[in-house]
């Protein structure tokens, strides 16, 4: 458990218990695939994730991706929950379209 300290894009966050950047964990959401920043909808997805989660406490549980690995694109693949709700579900409820990869 930690606080969302940074939002990289629509499906990437940094989580940490303190403001010390060296202790943050980079996370790729396992249950939401946002468009890339330079694609249509990418910037909107990033803004939506920031509105939902930035500076808020989350609980994240790492999981294995299709490749069988926990580390994907240099980030930990994890399912994160905010007040009991999945961040992926909250993004879909906010009307953010999926469309990465």
> What number of helices (H) and strands (E) belong to the chain?
2, 7
Tell me if 12 is assigned to some domain: yes
* pLDDT tens per residue across span 30-81: 999 999 999 999 999 999 999 999 999 999 999 998 888 888 878 999 999 9
| Per-residue pLDDT band at 100 (split at 50, 70, 90) | low
pLDDT of residue 99: 82
CATH number, domain of 58, equals 2.40.50.90
- CB-based contact 39:99 (threshold 8 Å): yes
pLDDT of residue 74: 86
Domain enclosing residue 89, as ranges: 2-93
Tell me if 17 is assigned to some domain: yes
Looking at residues 10-33, what average pLDDT do you find? Answer: 97
Tell me if 15 is assigned to some domain: yes
Give Cα 92 distance to the centre of its chain.
13
| pTM, two decimal places | 0.92
User: Does pLDDT of 21 surpass 90?
Assistant: yes
Tell me if 101 is assigned to some domain: no
Tell me if 98 is assigned to some domain: no
Rounded-to-integer distance, Cα 87 and Cα 101, Å: 19
Count of structural domains, the chain: 1
User: Does pLDDT of 101 surpass 60?
Assistant: no
DSSP string across 16-56: ESSS-GGG-EEEEESS--PPPTTSTTHHHHHHHHHHHHTTS
Tell me if 37 is assigned to some domain: yes
Tell me if 28 is assigned to some domain: yes
Tell me if 100 is assigned to some domain: no
User: Does pLDDT of 97 surpass 80?
Assistant: yes
């Amino acid at each position: 458990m930690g606080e969302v300290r940074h939002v990289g894009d629509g499906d990437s966050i940094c989580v940490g218990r303190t403001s010390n950047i060296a202790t943050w964990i980079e996370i790729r959401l396992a249950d939401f695939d946002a468009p890339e920043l330079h694609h249509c909808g990418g910037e909107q997805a990033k803004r939506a994730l920031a509105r939902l989660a930035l500076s808020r406490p989350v609980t994240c549980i790492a999981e294995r991706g299709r490749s069988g690995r926990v580390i994907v694109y240099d980030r930990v693949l994890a399912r994160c929950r905010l007040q009991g709700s999945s961040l992926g579900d909250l993004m879909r409820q906010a009307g953010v379209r999926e469309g990465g990869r």
